[in-house]
Amino acid sequence: MRILLASQVNVAQRSGAAIHQAALAREMARAGHDVRVLGRGRLDGLTPEPILPVAPEGLSRFIRRIPEIPPGHVLESKLALEVVREVQRFRPEVGYVRLSPSSSLVPAAFVATGTPYAVELNGLILEHMRLAHRGSARIAVARASLAWVIEHAAAAVAPSEAIERHLADDLHAKRVVRIENGADVGPSATCARLEARARLGLPREGALITMVGTLVPSLRLDLLFDALRALSRDTTLVIVGDGAQRGRVDAEISRGARVIFLGARPHDEAILAARAADVCVNPHDSDLSLKGLEYAAIGRRQVCFAVRGVERIRDLYAEESQAVWLVEARNGAAFAAAIEAALAIERARGELPDDEVARVRSEVAWSRTAARVLAVLDEARR
């Protein structure tokens, strides 16, 4: 198949979203398909280590990037125009679009050119807009826009059960396919704990708990900070990421909290921070974050809330490994108790066995995700 992947993802940065887009494209190409990736990013914006691989897959020559402009209607219009141009050049048989709240014009370009497409929703968009207090008018516009996009798509792909329900209940999607994301953790996934700490300038001694992720409004940092206050004084929280709750983090640090804030970092450094940890934490209490999958793939015990779909992460390791600690109650004391229990197991047993970690990493490889997406796209083009 000739496949055009299009989204607002900046393919010139080593962000998690860009790496996931690249991993999907890479595995599609390895399966023998002709893939083009269309996204934003300055033409000179690639890091020394390209996101997309060079030959034999050769995907880097299939990237088209538009000049860096802020997200919004201008970017959306530019991307839609580039989709039309790429359809004329490349003649794709099918398109695949990663949706954002303002992603109606890119799918409209596929409709206008008669190119069938599938869409992927990678978050609870309307719920996140409500939590960010975007206003009822903006949410209504986003709902109508997304509903139109999904109505014209051959299928809507949901990476989790919560997003599957969001598509069906809030956006009335008729054809929803659950396809869980993979985990592309890169070369830092096997870095030794003390080496990872040294490379990031983190304390060599003491217990580190690490949280990696965008600081979206739905993230329960309030419960995480409550938990931190209940833990022993030799425990430090490392936060990697930035976003709407940056002010809450700064305020907590100003009050003397044991927090090291690394801010937004390239994906490789975020993985390093997780490898530097004794235990990783995931304070999403409404849906299953992809970070939990990455924590599992790099062999770190983790603490997370018992949300729908968490069985996928919990069941990756044998029960006796005690790799995943689930928090049922939504309060800081319950979160702290689970973190302390996970730290105690880590001290008593040491790290998860290398052979078991390698097995888990192979089970969450992007090749499996790509195979399922390819089946959806093959059906869409018929």
Q: List per-residue pLDDT tens for the chain, 382 residues long.
A: 999 998 877 766 666 677 778 888 888 988 889 888 887 765 443 333 444 443 334 444 455 555 555 555 556 677 888 888 889 988 999 999 887 655 678 888 899 999 999 999 877 767 767 766 777 877 777 777 778 888 899 999 988 887 888 888 888 888 999 998 888 788 888 999 999 999 999 999 999 999 999 898 889 999 999 999 999 989 999 999 998 899 999 999 999 999 999 999 988 899 999 999 999 999 998 777 778 999 999 999 999 999 877 888 999 999 999 999 999 999 999 999 999 999 999 999 999 999 999 999 988 988 889 999 999 999 999 8
* 320-324-325 Cα angle (round to 5): 105
Residues 6+ apart with CB under 8 A from 74: none
Strands (E), the chain: 2-10, 34-40, 63-66, 94-99, 117-121, 155-158, 176-178, 207-212, 235-240, 259-263, 279-282, 302-305, 324-327
Look-up: residue for tokens 């059960």? 161
Residues 35 and 53 in one domain: yes
Domain that holds residue 275: 187-363
For residue 278, give the CATH number of its domain: 3.40.50.2000
Q: At what angle do helices 267-276 and 290-297 cross, to 10 degrees?
A: 60
DSSP string, 304-326: EE--TTTHHHHTTS-GGG--EEE
Residues 243 and 341 in one domain: yes
Residues 123 and 237 in one domain: no
For 260, the token pair is 């090291």
CA distances, 219 to each of 38, 74, 167, 194, 261 (Å) = 30, 29, 21, 28, 16
For the beta sheet containing 207-212, the strands, ordered from the edge strand earlier in sequence to the opposite edge, are: 259-263, 235-240, 207-212, 279-282, 302-305, 324-327
Residues 114 and 31 in one domain: yes
- First-to-last alpha carbon distance for the chain, in angstroms, is 11
Residues 166 and 300 in one domain: no
CB atoms within 10 A of CB 74: 10
φ/ψ (deg, to 5) at 95: -120, 160
Residues 296 and 372 in one domain: no
Residues 11 and 160 in one domain: yes
Q: At what angle do helices 246-254 and 221-230 cross, to 10 degrees?
A: 20
- Classified as helix, coil or strand, 221 is helix
CA distances, 345 to each of 242, 338, 350 (Å) = 30, 11, 8
Q: How far is CA 214 from the centre of its chain?
A: 9
Domains in the chain, number: 2
